Amino acid sequence: MNFFSAKEYFYKANTIGFILLLLPVIVFLYIHVDALQSFPVVSDLPRKNQLFILISAMVVTILTVVNLLWRSRIDRMRALGELSKKMEGYFVLFVMRNGAYAASLLLISAGYYLTHSIYFTGIYFIVLLLIISQWPGPARFCLAFDLKGPERDLILHNQDLFRKPRKPAGQPGK
């Protein structure tokens, strides 16, 4: 990922994050409107409960695995020296985590479509609130990597990243 400032980095991360957030929301709204006009595919109570437990277990498993992977990768990336490598790794983790959350939301939407159960709506909004509460920003990035000093100021104040000065073409080195 190419970026020249912390502001540009978080702008790109937020853009992709919002796309991954809005896609399941649009799907859920479409399914909800369709559910108001149709009958549920699964209508008997024992099958609804089985489907609810299955999908809930799958969502909890997916989110637990993703959060464990998130923590282990962040711990490994703390050892990296360069801030730009930390930022690139954090971006990949953020996209992976939000992609997993979006997949979980789509799975919950499928459960809602099949059963028209209000419980799926509740789980959907809980997962949606989890995404929003874990949204990355400059302060959360600094907290994740325990940044101090100039690196912290660079991230929090949206300054340009440190780059080695390039020599103009055709000039001899000193």
CA–CA separation, 136 and 90 (whole Å): 9
Number of C-alpha atoms within 13 angstroms, CB side, residue 162? Answer: 10
Residue-level pLDDT, tens digit, the chain, 174 residues: 666 677 888 888 899 999 999 999 999 999 999 988 888 888 888 999 999 999 999 999 999 999 999 999 999 998 887 888 888 899 999 999 999 999 999 999 999 999 999 999 999 999 999 999 988 888 888 888 888 888 888 888 876 655 555 566 666 655
Residues 6+ apart with CB under 8 A from 124: 28, 105, 108, 109, 112
Report which secondary-structure segment, H or E, holds 163: none
pLDDT of 161? 56
pLDDT digit string (tens) for 65-110?
A: 999 999 999 999 988 878 888 888 999 999 999 999 999 999 999 9
How many other C-beta atoms lie within 10 A of the C-beta of residue 133? 7
Q: Which residues of 79-100 are buried (b: 16+ CB within 10 A; e: fewer)?
A: eeeebeebbbbbbebbeebbeb
Reported residue count of the chain is: 174
